[in-house]
Structure 1
Amino acid sequence: MMRFLFLFVAFLQISFFDAHSRWATREDVGVAVNFFQRDINIKKDGTYQERFHIKMTILNESGRDQLALYPIFYNGSSEKVKILKAQTNDKGTSYKVSENNIVDKAIASSELGFDELRKVSIAFPKLGVNAQIELIFERQVLEPSLSNFASFSLSFGEIGIWEHCVVNIKTEMPLYVDINDPHHILETSYVNPEQSMKGFSIHLKNKDFTSLKVNEPQGSLTNPKKLTWVDVSSEKIWNRFSGKLLPGYQSVMNQKHPPILEAIWKKASEVKGDVEQINMITSEIIRLFHYLGDWRTVKNQIFPRDLKTIVETQTGDCKDFSVMLASIAQKLGYETSFVLVYRGFNNILVPEVFPLLQSFNHVFVRLKSQTGKTYWVDPTNAVSMAQGIFPDVADRPVLIIGGNDAQKYQKSPAVNPEKNGVAIEHTIRFDSSPAQHIIDYEATGHDAALITGLSLYMSEKSLEEYLFDYITAEPLKDEDAAKMILPNLNSRDVKTVKIKITMKKKQYFKKTNLGPGIPLGYQSLEKILFNSEQQVNDMSLGIPKTLFRKTRLKNTSIPGGEAFNISVDTPYIRINREMVRENKDSLIIDKLTIKKPYLPAEALNSEDIKRFRELVKENILESIYIMPNLDYAKIS
């Protein structure tokens, strides 16, 4: 029986040291906003007109890059934009932007689905350091997203250093205002909804303000509560707002099924079990219809098209996919609701006080079965996972349309880290040259969703090459003599995925002066080691999940291995390492659990995170298991 030595080696990376992350100053930015005035005139029907007057000075070379091509986005089907003035002012001379340097065109991207999003691009001349650009333009919203409703989210301090800002609002309907001003730099004449109809203003009272940050670590996220913004809405009550949206969804959901949807319903009615039934419906919709990503349709409506129209085109956005699913599920006896959400990864979302359409970019479905179970189902993914919630719509503010909820504005469920992740058992046999590696890989939840259905897109050989690289983090080589046993990946229904790889991997072991070593580190933990007392942003930890790794060394002995056991737990992340004996084998068992998607900046210097950081640096990050009694050349 071979005996081994366990050695931890912590290779310090540059990101381990304290960095001076902080709010930016004038010296850090490339642009100064010398003058900013936005005048908004809101009509009773929800249409409005606004006028922008902006002057910005270039402070350094980065500012030249920022302003080289100034964009203005608008919806071509319901809005109009008119450039009134565009020029560069430099050393007492003004240089007008020629008509040829103002381009207005549709954004060509299938991801925008049915929407007619357009962009005006302005190329300002004579852009040197200390030059100033001046822009005046008007935007008219001719058709509101929702009749008799208007909402805005006004941000302050973006792009550079702000020296001046004023927003003037005139309105024919009462407005409700929520001000988030953590730096106390705003003043407003707003008093209450009734007084708002006389008009009010919001202006910057402090000069040299910016919301930009510098030296923030990669993967960090800004909490909106730390930024300066003002939300304006013509509606006060979320439940009432939800009620205004309900008819546009319910009327389509209750329409007679075209034959293709009736066929899906009939097929689903023969399936037993909620999860199996919902997954079958969603899989059929994904198979038969092409998803176009934007949630807005022509004329900027926020409601689905008629079922007949959807079926005729066999294309749809999230509203169309959701209403098809809801219509079929309702006929099967499910209680159906629609869910508005801001979909995405790597963003922190906080609840809004008043209803804003800008708070949402996606629709999916909540189903309640006759057994009382609730399912949060997004039919717009490439696969179906009714048994869980996809992370890009999980744990965030949502608005429920339909159903019997006392509060329509609530939070979607979080991803359960115990039901999402990867478990790997890596067995190494040293009785051959090179050593034999056996990897048993098991993925659940979202990690299984990333693999499910890949056979529909790849050849068998391409799939094996991709998965080998995906699982081992190395490309497949002929010399590895690798064999892979794959499950059926033709289905769109997410289930636990199990893959087995056997190989004789060369150059797997690390070469040290004490003998060959087995790498046991977690490079993904590097970012949590970033430490700055002034850090502004929160730290992204990724999707909540459990990563389980068991390294089995056949016919080996770890003398005193229990001395290297480690366990550290925090409210955000937990890690355990244990060394045990099982018959004649030595096992190194690692378990990393990401409990929350991000770590607040305020918690980065808490005692439990400091302890976690210290223990990971010393014991986990780049740890190597040294085997002094083995010949490197033989096992590699």
Structure 2
Amino acid sequence: MRTLTLGLAAGLYSSFSAAALQPVSEAPLAVKTAVSCQHNKDNSLDCVTSKQFTILHPSGREQLSRIDFTYPAEDRLRVEQAEVIQPNGKVIKLGKSQIETRAAPNPDAGVSRDMQTWMAFPELSVGSTVSYRIKTHSVAQPLVRQLRYQLDLGPQKAREDSFNFELQSTRPLIWRGMMLDDYAVDASADRKRIKVSLRRPRYLNYINEWNNSALREWPQLVIATSDQPQDHFGAHARRYNEILAAPLPPAAAAVVAANQGKPAAEQAAAFMQHINRNYRYLNDTRLAERGLVPFTLAEIEKHGYGDCKDLSTLLTAMLRRAGVAAEPALIYRGKFAPPLLLPGVGAPNHMIVRADIAGQTWWLDPTNPFFQPGRIMSDLQDRWAFIIGKDGVVSQTQVPMEAARTDLNIKRENALKADGSADVRADIELANSTLIDTILQDRYQGVSATDQSLCNRLSGQPEDCKVQRDKTSFMVPSSYPLRMSVRDPRMLEKISGLFLYDSHFKGVWDSFDNYKRNGNLADVYLGDASAMQSDVLLKGAKAIQPAFECKVSSPWYEVDAKQQQTAAGIRVQYRISNKVRWLSHAEINSPAFAKLIDDARACVSQIRQIVKL
């Protein structure tokens, strides 16, 4: 069942992307919450929700000026009470003109029948109290027989003064939670009622974190009527297999026939290209709320579009007709998957295909505008997934993390001039995630924008930059070569007749020191496990410091640096490899990571040096 979406004008709930604790004195709002829900025999849900906000700072006014509720057209929402109480005790009840229900805006990549009820609160000031009570009825999604209800109790831009939640059901309930020290959870003896209450007021909001950081765990509680994937998704599995058993529509059948007898990898690539070329991603719920149920194969081909479940179902059918073992897979797409406390609808947010290609497991996402054979995409690695088997059995598995590979290999010659400038020539090979980023930038921003970005990465002040490279396409090759030339007017900094060369390789290690100094709390996302290596010739330069070679190893990073004098100039070789996708807050603050920072900085700092021409 889709849950009600609450939207406030300036965003009350944090997106779990930032973290240094904000003082409670800066909380813009205080909130009291009471929710009472009844889970019914038909798997529908009736809830009464009461909230009371008190504005503590001027920024709280903007967050409460309008409150939106978005919900499926099949559901019902009624505002039973809404008012503003001024600091002087004046009560302003919202009239009909201040509460309106209308069709919700369509999502970016879809058309929907969702409805939206909004409330506009007048005459707000610091000290005002906004309160409302709503009653909702949520119907079960098609084929959903079990309840899964999730309470996310993470950061928000409001001080919680009280929180009381109650869920009753006609069936026994199971609950799982994490990080619930601030909450009391009580289950009745017959397990048909669960209460959650805040033990004491709290304020949990985070500020000034890195853009590539996130809280991967937060206070949450999940309630369900079963902890078995089969109970939650078994009816869907039967419907999927009915759809997959139907004949392929004409265009898909023609592509399968045209590739008959080819190796499975070539067939998979051809089918992915067919879907990318002939279908666009679009979630269509105009006729009815489909939940996890796809269109039929014939409907998908007729429409010429589909969402993840539609396109994955079509791809599965094509692979099976070609003799390739393939199954739809429910998964959580993103930089990370939240912990799976209990299975059920609402845990996964995406569908892909698991296929057996020449004895290897491929995880195929037909919604992407690119395809790299055999590689698991960044937003699907290292997480749980539910496989819908051909036999109707739904099983849980783990999608692995890709091993580190070289994503960026640079060989450059810096022909140094007496004024410290340099003519730079570079041969570069891109691969994997770095190449995919380039393909996406070409697609959405244009080749000229991508070339400009490449020039800025090769030189801090690029002049007369030229990029020679082939056109990128849907298919991602194992490596992608390009050649660049640029004039760098400040390759070296002149100091008392000598010159300073700085590679800026130590910046990453300084940033981790700043992370600890600022008291950051979030985990840091590094991207795919990968390596970057650089081989630079400072042509015409003579080293003052002796040759060196250093290596640093840790569970998180590998760093290698080497410098030697050659007849042509100074040759500097550098390689850095991140062996993990994420660094946890605890890891960054560990003594072992502190040693890594010191050792790696000491190693790469030797590259920054005074040279002669």
Alignment counterpart, residue 412 of structure 2, candidates 422, 426, 429: 426
Deviations 1:329-365 (A, max 9, x none): 11111111212111123x462232x213222111001
Structure 2 CA distance for partners of 1:482 and 1:53, relative to 1, 3 Å: closer
Alignment counterpart, residue 391 of structure 1, candidates 378, 397, 407: 378
Q: Which residue in the other structure is 2:346 paired with?
A: 358
Q: Which residue in the other structure is 2:535 paired with?
A: 550
Structure 2 counterparts to residues 331-346 of structure 1, below 5 A: 331-345=321-335
Q: CA deviation at 1:432?
A: 9.8
Residues 1:61 and 2:49 aligned together = no
Alignment counterpart, residue 125 of structure 2, candidates 117, 123, 128: 128
| Structure 2 CA distance for aligned equivalents of residues 601 and 267 of structure 1 | 52
Between stretches 584-593 and 55-64, larger displacement belongs to 584-593
Structure 2 counterparts to residues 168-317 of structure 1, below 5 A: 168-182=166-180, 184-191=181-188, 195-197=190-192, 199-206=193-200, 208-224=201-217, 227-269=218-260, 271-272=262-263, 274-292=264-282, 298-317=288-307
Structure 2 CA distance for partners of 1:582 and 1:191, relative to 1, 3 Å: farther
Deviations 1:291-335 (A, max 9, x none): 126999941421211111111110110111111111111111111
Residues 1:569 and 2:553 aligned together = yes
Gaps of at least 5 residues in structure 2 are 1-17
| Structure 1 CA distance for aligned equivalents of residues 281 and 394 of structure 2 | 31
Q: Which residue in the other structure is 1:492 paired with?
A: 475
Structure 2 CA distance for partners of 1:110 and 1:526, relative to 1, 3 Å: farther
The CA RMSD over aligned residues, in Å, is 3.1
Q: Report the 3-state secondary structure (helix = DSSP H, G, I; strand = E; otherwise coil) of the residue aligned with 2:51.
A: strand
Q: Report the 3-state secondary structure (helix = DSSP H, G, I; strand = E; otherwise coil) of the residue aligned with 2:547.
A: helix
Structure 2 CA distance for partners of 1:188 and 1:294, relative to 1, 3 Å: farther
Question: Does the Cα contact within 8 Å between 2:146 and 2:231 map onto a contact in 1?
Answer: no
Alignment counterpart, residue 580 of structure 2, candidates 575, 596, 599: 596
Q: CA deviation at 1:441?
A: 1.4
Structure 2 counterparts to residues 18-29 of structure 1, below 5 A: 22-29=20-27
Question: Does the Cα contact within 8 Å between 2:422 and 2:491 map onto a contact in 1?
Answer: no
Q: CA deviation at 1:495?
A: 3.5
Question: Does the Cα contact within 8 Å between 1:549 and 1:591 map onto a contact in 2?
Answer: yes
Q: Which amino acid aligns with 2:40?
A: K
Q: Which residue in the other structure is 1:74 paired with?
A: 71
Q: Which residue in the other structure is 1:483 paired with?
A: 466
| Structure 2 CA distance for aligned equivalents of residues 186 and 131 of structure 1 | 28
Q: Which residue in the other structure is 1:349 paired with?
A: 338
| Structure 1 CA distance for aligned equivalents of residues 177 and 92 of structure 2 | 38
Question: Does the Cα contact within 8 Å between 1:553 and 1:587 map onto a contact in 2?
Answer: yes
| Structure 1 CA distance for aligned equivalents of residues 105 and 25 of structure 2 | 37
Structure 2 CA distance for partners of 1:377 and 1:348, relative to 1, 3 Å: closer
Between stretches 519-528 and 618-627, larger displacement belongs to 618-627
Q: CA deviation at 1:410?
A: 2.7
Question: Does the Cα contact within 8 Å between 1:156 and 1:211 map onto a contact in 2?
Answer: no
| Structure 2 CA distance for aligned equivalents of residues 514 and 220 of structure 1 | 44
Q: Report the 3-state secondary structure (helix = DSSP H, G, I; strand = E; otherwise coil) of the residue aligned with 1:473.
A: helix
Q: Which amino acid aligns with 2:136?
A: R
Structure 2 CA distance for partners of 1:575 and 1:98, relative to 1, 3 Å: farther
Q: Which residue in the other structure is 2:43 paired with?
A: 46
| Structure 2 CA distance for aligned equivalents of residues 102 and 119 of structure 1 | 11
Q: Which residue in the other structure is 1:12 paired with?
A: none
Residues 1:438 and 2:425 aligned together = yes
| Structure 2 CA distance for aligned equivalents of residues 148 and 412 of structure 1 | 27
Structure 1 length-normalised TM = 0.85
Residues 1:538 and 2:523 aligned together = yes
Q: Which amino acid aligns with 1:435?
A: A
Q: Which amino acid aligns with 1:264?
A: V
| Structure 2 CA distance for aligned equivalents of residues 623 and 40 of structure 1 | 63
Deviations 1:375-430 (A, max 9, x none): 111111101123201101111222122168999223211132225x2111121123
Q: Which amino acid aligns with 1:204?
A: L
Question: Does the Cα contact within 8 Å between 1:239 and 1:407 map onto a contact in 2?
Answer: yes
Structure 2 CA distance for partners of 1:129 and 1:618, relative to 1, 3 Å: farther
| Structure 1 CA distance for aligned equivalents of residues 274 and 238 of structure 2 | 26
Question: Does the Cα contact within 8 Å between 1:376 and 1:386 map onto a contact in 2?
Answer: no
Structure 2 CA distance for partners of 1:535 and 1:472, relative to 1, 3 Å: closer
Q: Which amino acid aligns with 1:317?
A: D
Instruction: Between the two structures, name the one with larger relative contact order (CA 8 Å, sep ≥ 6).
Output: 1
Q: Report the 3-state secondary structure (helix = DSSP H, G, I; strand = E; otherwise coil) of the residue aligned with 1:381.
A: coil
Q: Report the 3-state secondary structure (helix = DSSP H, G, I; strand = E; otherwise coil) of the residue aligned with 2:597.
A: helix
Gaps of at least 5 residues in structure 1 are 1-19, 630-636
Question: Does the Cα contact within 8 Å between 2:233 and 2:394 map onto a contact in 1?
Answer: no
| Structure 1 CA distance for aligned equivalents of residues 243 and 319 of structure 2 | 14
Q: Report the 3-state secondary structure (helix = DSSP H, G, I; strand = E; otherwise coil) of the residue aligned with 1:257.
A: coil
Structure 2 CA distance for partners of 1:241 and 1:526, relative to 1, 3 Å: farther
Q: CA deviation at 1:254?
A: 2.0
| Structure 2 CA distance for aligned equivalents of residues 395 and 297 of structure 1 | 36
| Structure 2 CA distance for aligned equivalents of residues 593 and 104 of structure 1 | 53
| Structure 1 CA distance for aligned equivalents of residues 164 and 212 of structure 2 | 33
Question: Does the Cα contact within 8 Å between 2:44 and 2:139 map onto a contact in 1?
Answer: yes
Q: Which residue in the other structure is 1:607 paired with?
A: 591
